[in-house]
Structure 1
Amino acid sequence: MNPHHHLDPSTLLSYAAGALTVEMAIVAATHLETCPHCRARVEEAECIGGQLIEHQQPGPGAPDEARRAVLREAMLRGLDDEPVAVSPPPRVAPYEADDRLPAPLHPYFGTSYRALKWRWMAPGVHCIRAAGTPTGTLLMLKIGPGRSMPVHSHGGTELTQILRGAYHDALGHFAPGDVADLDSDVEHQPVTVPGVACICVSALDAPLRFPGWLAQRLQPLFKL
């Protein structure tokens, strides 16, 4: 598996620093399981961060917030440079191997696709909400083939990892292993490809925004 859509550098940096919310970190870890490119960038961020903490600390009088801002900016610049040569160990791609869900999802959704207990959400759309996540929304979606989702933007950040099937939108084609790392500037309308349902896992830290009146009316029911 060779994903074409990756985590944003700022997301990778936050993951390496342990600064993502639980829900975002779960989706990021799911992507990292099968993406050697992003695993290498996380290792770069950890390496750069260690060097910066050791060699580029601001003066002792600088406030903590300013110190963190300087370190973060320098780390992002480092991630924009040529990647460090890293040879991460090979991983088994869980998306296309038997019935196994990716390991980071096991505590929240179980280990098996066949054992998932989907709940109807809308015609052709089913979901499962993870219980016990503390700061935002974590859910799995199963969207029937050839379905158009409502046009929407995001009140905050959304991370969506494709597990099975695929969809396309204005940002491109998203297939198994790809991640959509979206912020409040993005408005899109995912359309699933024909032939097979699209299964994905998403983390949201704020409600979606729907321009259409019908979707707005239904939003409290869907709790998205």
Structure 2
Amino acid sequence: MSPRHHLDPATVLGFAAGSLGPEMSVVASAHMESCGHCRQQLRLAERIGGLLLDQQACPVPGKDTQAALRQAMVDKLDRIPAPRGEQGLPMVGASSARDDVDRLPTALQPHFGSSYRSLKWNWMAPGVHCIRAPGLPSLIMMKIAPGKSLPMHSHGNSELTQILQGAYDDALGHFAPGDAADLGEDVEHQPVTTPGVACICVCALDAPLVFRGWIARKLQKVLNL
């Protein structure tokens, strides 16, 4: 699994700082289990955070303080050796997930259980089923039938989606297993699932979706999306 769509740098920084909401953190963790690129970015963000704390403790005097801080961080990062044997390797638990196609990513198991076969889907709309995580209603796992076109929509704020099985296409490209769709309120799209296999994904919302069609807007009140 080699993801082509990754977490936004702001999401990685928020994850490193512990400032993401719980739903977003779960989905980000699920993505990082299969994405060596985003794990590497996380390590970099954590180091930068540590360097910023060091610089706050030892401020640099003078008018060019900000430039000096940036250069000091670059110099220190250049001297930090790259992690050995980590790039491209899964985190603990991801290798077993690859060996067992029925096993959910480790980050999702406390909220949805350990396997796909044990999931108890609830009907949402024709061809669309979902499960809301207990205690985290904005953390939603969805199963969308093959060849299904979802309503055109944008986002009240942010949406973070991790593709688990199947795939979909929209104006942003092709999203396959391992890919993350890290979307802001400026994105409007209409996912269409690819033929053959149902698309299963997990998503986190920090604001309701914004639907263009009036029928979808009516259903939104019932579906609580």
Query: Residues 159-196 of structure 1: CA distance to partner in whole angstroms, max 9, x if unpaired?
Result: 00000000010000000000000010000000000000
Shift of 1:55: 1.7
Task: Please give the residue correspondences for 1:65-144 in structure 2 after superposition, counting only pairs within 5 Å.
Answer: 85-86=82-83, 87-88=85-86, 90-91=89-90, 92=95, 94=97, 97-133=100-136, 137-144=138-145
Paired AA for residue 150 in structure 2? M
Max Rg structure: 2
Task: Work out whether 1:3 is the aligned partner of 2:21.
Answer: no
Task: Name 1:62's counterpart in structure 2.
Answer: none
For this pair of structures, how many residues does the alignment match?
A: 205
Partner Cα distance (2:123, 2:182) in 1 = 26
Instruction: Tell me, yes or no, if the aligned pair for 1:95 and 1:176 is still in contact at 8 Å.
Output: no
- Are the aligned partners of 1:33 and 1:93 in contact in 2 as well (CA < 8 Å)? no
Deviation at 1:94, TM superposition (A): 2.5
Using the alignment, how far apart are the partners of 2:150 and 2:98 within structure 1?
23
Contact 1:95 1:102 in 2 (8 A): no
- Which whole-Å CA distance do the structure 1 matches of 2:195 and 2:143 have between them? 14
CA distance in 2, matches of 1:96, 1:189: 33
Q: Is the Cα contact below 8 Å between 1:95 and 1:177 reproduced in 2?
A: no
- The answer to whether the 8 A contact 1:166-1:193 is kept is yes
1:85 positional shift: 4.0
d(CA) in 1 for partners of 2:109 and 2:42?
Answer: 22
Residue 57 (structure 1) shift: 6.1
How far 1:131 sits from its partner (Å)?
1.1
Given the two structures, how large is their TM-score scaled by the length of structure 2? 0.85
Q: Measure, in 2, the Cα distance between the counterparts of 1:3 and 1:93.
A: 18
* Partner Cα separation in structure 2 for residue 49 and residue 212 of structure 1: 43
- Please say if residues 3 and 176 of structure 1, whose CA atoms lie closer than 8 Å, have aligned partners that are also in contact: yes
Give the TM-score taking structure 1 as reference length.
Answer: 0.85
Counterpart in the other structure of 1:222: 223
Counterpart of 1:15 in structure 2: which amino acid?
F
Match of 2:21 in 1: 21
Q: Which runs of 5+ in 1 are unaligned?
A: 60-69
- In the alignment, what sits opposite 2:34? 34
In structure 2, the CA distance between the partners of 1:95 and 1:190, relative to structure 1 (3 Å rule), is: farther
Quote the residue 1:204 is aligned against: 205
| AA at the equivalent of 1:8 | D
Q: Residues of 1 paired with 2:21 and 2:33: CA distance? A: 18
Match of 2:62 in 1: none
Give the superposition deviation at 1:52.
Answer: 1.5
1:91-135: CA deviation from partner (whole Å, max 9, x where unpaired): 2172673310001111110001001000111110000011112xx
Which residue in 2 is equivalent to 1:176? 177
